């Protein structure tokens, strides 16, 4: 069966059977309003401490762009507080890479109301990741149902 929607990236390609795309996902870097640097590309963020979720595809992407100071958290909800922490705090991050659809909501729930989008990093389609043993007939049926 299909278990969740996710980014279809090379490292995951052979782990699943894929159905989709089912939605678009925009990855962006966020900072506080005091972050005044201009970034033109993801590679420009490589000199900053970047917060992300552990084992997320966005981590792999940023590392491929040269980022070496990525601070992974167990959940995205931890990252806004790390943005707002003092620079002297060892958990402090300068930027947070996350999904633009949920960034402001996650930040607000974490008590961080001022958040600015610094750079849209990538637009990534989402697919259903299905168990490799999923019957092709089931996937074909799913495809037929979504075309109606």
| Per-residue model confidence as pLDDT tens digits over 18-60 | 888 888 889 999 999 999 999 999 999 999 999 999 988 899 8
CA neighbours within 13 Å on the CB side: how many for 127?
16
Q: What is the pLDDT of residue 44?
A: 96
Residue 28 forms part of a structural domain: yes
CATH number at residue 74: 3.40.190.10
Range of the domain at 116: 23-125
pLDDT at 147 over 70: no
Residue 31 forms part of a structural domain: yes
Residue 131 forms part of a structural domain: no
* DSSP-assigned beta bridge partners for residue 31: 116
Q: Which residues of 43-56 are buried (b: 16+ CB within 10 A; e: fewer)?
A: ebbbebbbbbbeeb
Q: What confidence category does residue 126 fall into, taking pLDDT thresholds of 50, 70 and 90?
A: confident
CB 48 within 8 A of CB 118: no
């Amino acid at each position: 069966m299909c278990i969740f929607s996710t980014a279809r990236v090379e490292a995951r390609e052979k782990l699943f059977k894929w159905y989709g795309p089912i939605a678009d996902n925009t990855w962006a870097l966020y900072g506080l309003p005091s972050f005044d640097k201009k970034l033109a590309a993801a590679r420009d963020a490589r000199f900053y401490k970047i917060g992300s979720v552990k084992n997320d595809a966005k981590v792999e992407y940023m590392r491929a762009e040269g980022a070496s100071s990525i601070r992974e958290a167990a959940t995205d909800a931890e990252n806004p507080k790390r943005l707002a922490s003092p620079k002297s705090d060892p958990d402090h991050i300068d930027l947070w890479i996350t999904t633009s659809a949920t960034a402001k909501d996650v930040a607000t729930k974490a008590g961080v109301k001022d958040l600015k989008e610094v750079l849209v990093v990538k637009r990534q389609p989402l697919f259903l990741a299905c168990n490799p043993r999923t019957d092709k007939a089931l996937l074909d049926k799913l495809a037929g149902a979504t075309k109606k």
